[in-house]
Structure 1
């Protein structure tokens, strides 16, 4: 069933609507929005609308994210984000002013939530690439999560437009538009030709299944089957993903695991507004088709300072959020914050609670097994994958070589999921996965051999079995039991103490 912007209210309404009726309700609510709302979005840089750009207080359905230490709350923190690459970096380098102090001097940031950061990225893509178009169900109205609010008025309805209610058609059209020219500049159509940059939106990741054939049978194979003569590298498919607390069977799925065997595609999931903007711009400009999944609970719950400049963050590279030497936790998206909370419970368990007793017993075993002092506490290394395909296996293995324990956390189903794939790579003797080999650019010579050696050393150094905590293997995320389905901080804490006490 389709939902509208007031998603939380509709999902709890007792009236049952057909999918088409729900779509009409969405459009009525969006059309009835005040004209001033659209006017504000269409002219985001005027002083009169500056106050309207300020995001509402962080909340949503996971308000604890607002206090996360992982968010960049100051300009200095935002501008020093690891891996950030400014669009004018080449010009700075030519001028000889490419040092960190010079590239950040004069740059400004603004407080944004995630949907505002995504809108900012889309606006930059449209303004810097005349061939870029944004399309999907209801995007001209601003989208159900407001990520495209005002873009149609600002850039024209021939570049930002609604499509019929068909995901297969949305993605198929995007493939056709992107295939008409070549981002690689070496096609029989003469460079970019008539084609361009296609930014498609699938309204919810739960509805990406009808487009699965287009993505796996067409987009991922397009360049490969033509021997490099043609490609659809200009295609980016955006879709809201993961649970929001009350989405039920058709608005809470995490389908990223189904793409793990899709060599030729990239899959990206950001954790915050700053990451969302940089990773989305990288995805749009990447020479491969990209599925960009946006955790819907973070649209309003995550707020941080975001550079207003044009910048990108690298695809295919994870990020170490907290360093540690006793256990590696690998995760992405919303689960990053739940892992952060679980680590806090491990180091600061509530006094007098059952959690405190369990943690103390587990840490006692860990200290005895490792010879640590009675006052010592475990240090946990937290890694955000960011890119799910190809995931940063070398980073995981380097971390595991010093911690010797690995916990992988995600919301998607456990069987056949991202966690099982990573766990299999860590403990197997297989060479680098074909999907990673096909889509990873800039790999140093001999990486596969080095990776095989790293995997062997990591496996032989394991001090506990690799553990995966994911969603349960049920037909979907049941509405009443959604909180039990999602790996929360208590389930993650159980995994931490189990591995430490092993």
Structure 2
């Protein structure tokens, strides 16, 4: 199954199993979604459950918040995460705050899905990685599925949450393929997951940087360096327990984050490690992030601006001392 199909199946299950659930967003119906995730769902469920919206993020995100407060379970699709900035007031000042400001009288069981990341030559305005921004906001849960399995099962858990959940789907992963374990029906959206165990260095990452980290670990293993790859997958709340346990054991750490380094989720993780595990470290914490520039359109410049497998390998070698 592809990551794209996993997302579609997750939406289909949600619509089938709960009559309170509906999907709304730009081009999700007739067009089938900007990345073809919702293709065919309009024919299957009709226009009352699959709702094309105007190009007005503040309006349809606000409508989704109102529907959630009224007892529905809306799934709101924002075409790409840069467009979510047009609805930042609704997300920050309403969805994330209403439960607190009402003293718990109102819940906002809203799921917002959006495409994120670079790597498809969509240039500076459509290649953002803003999930770290949203992970700054109390009242939100922020998910970044990096595997087909998580893309398939995270939505169910997100819809069961009484508070707003943001799911960031990386655009490069939509074509990724994997086999699903039929025994798995849900995933924990409160914890990170070790995707590859190791003893020499911890590589903490998420989203499309996960396959790059796994490829780097494969190469490093041939050189006798066992890298442990931790899929953060939940950016808020961060799973300190899994992160700290891994780094305490390996005593070295690389954080790979497609966001810009300044003020990023990688900076938050590095700060927590420095505060709580400073004396457990045998080497400085290293971060591999996107270059501090608007993402270029040109293919070779875009690749140069993004974290790559080669950078993970070289950084791991330098920290372990086998460069």
TM-score (norm 1): 0.62
What is the rounded CA distance, in whole Å, between the counterparts of 1:425 and 1:219 in structure 2? 27
Residue-pair matches, total: 319
Cα 1:149/1:309, change in 2 over 3 Å: farther
What is the rounded CA distance, in whole Å, between the counterparts of 1:346 and 1:308 in structure 2? 32
Tell me how far 1:311 sits from its aligned partner: 2.3
What is the rounded CA distance, in whole Å, between the counterparts of 2:268 and 2:231 in structure 1? 16
Structure 2 SS opposite 1:267 = strand
Tell me how far 1:309 sits from its aligned partner: 8.3
Structure 2 SS opposite 1:216 = helix
Are 1:316 and 2:190 an aligned pair?
Answer: yes
Which of 295, 298, 305 is matched with 1:485 structurally? 305
Q: Is the contact made by 2:119 and 2:303 (CA closer than 8 Å) also made in structure 1?
A: no
Match of residue 202 from structure 2: 328
Match of residue 40 from structure 2: 150
Match of residue 338 from structure 1: 212
| Over 4 Å off, 4+ runs | 307-310
For residues 186-234 of structure 1, give each alpha carbon's deviation from its aligned partner in whole angstroms, at most 9, with x where no partner exists: xxxxxxxxx21010000011211111111111111110111111110x2
Q: Is the contact made by 2:144 and 2:233 (CA closer than 8 Å) also made in structure 1?
A: yes
Q: Is the contact made by 1:117 and 1:306 (CA closer than 8 Å) also made in structure 2?
A: no
What is the rounded CA distance, in whole Å, between the counterparts of 2:184 and 2:199 in structure 1? 36
What is the rounded CA distance, in whole Å, between the counterparts of 1:311 and 1:116 in structure 2? 16
Which of 70, 73, 78 is matched with 1:202 structurally? 78
Compute the RMSD of aligned alpha carbons. 1.5
Mark the structure with the bigger radius of gyration. Answer: 1
TM alignment of 1:398-413, pairs within 5 A:
398-413=245-260
Gaps of 5+ in 2: none
What is the rounded CA distance, in whole Å, between the counterparts of 2:187 and 2:210 in structure 1? 18
Which of 251, 261, 264 is matched with 1:414 structurally? 261
Structure 2 SS opposite 1:200 = strand
Tell me how far 1:306 sits from its aligned partner: 2.7
Match of residue 51 from structure 2: 161
Which of 91, 94, 99 is matched with 1:223 structurally? 99
Which of 265, 272, 289 is matched with 1:470 structurally? 289
TM-score (norm 2): 0.95
For residues 431-489 of structure 1, give each alpha carbon's deviation from its aligned partner in whole angstroms, at most 9, with x where no partner exists: xxxxxxxxxxxxxxxxxxxxxxxx3xx32111011111111122x21112211111011
Structure 1 SS opposite 2:178 = strand
Cα 1:348/1:307, change in 2 over 3 Å: closer
Q: Is the contact made by 2:140 and 2:236 (CA closer than 8 Å) also made in structure 1?
A: yes
Q: Is the contact made by 1:410 and 1:419 (CA closer than 8 Å) also made in structure 2?
A: yes
Q: Is the contact made by 1:124 and 1:310 (CA closer than 8 Å) also made in structure 2?
A: no
Cα 1:397/1:226, change in 2 over 3 Å: same
Which of 73, 84, 90 is matched with 1:214 structurally? 90
Cα 1:501/1:310, change in 2 over 3 Å: closer
Match of residue 364 from structure 1: none
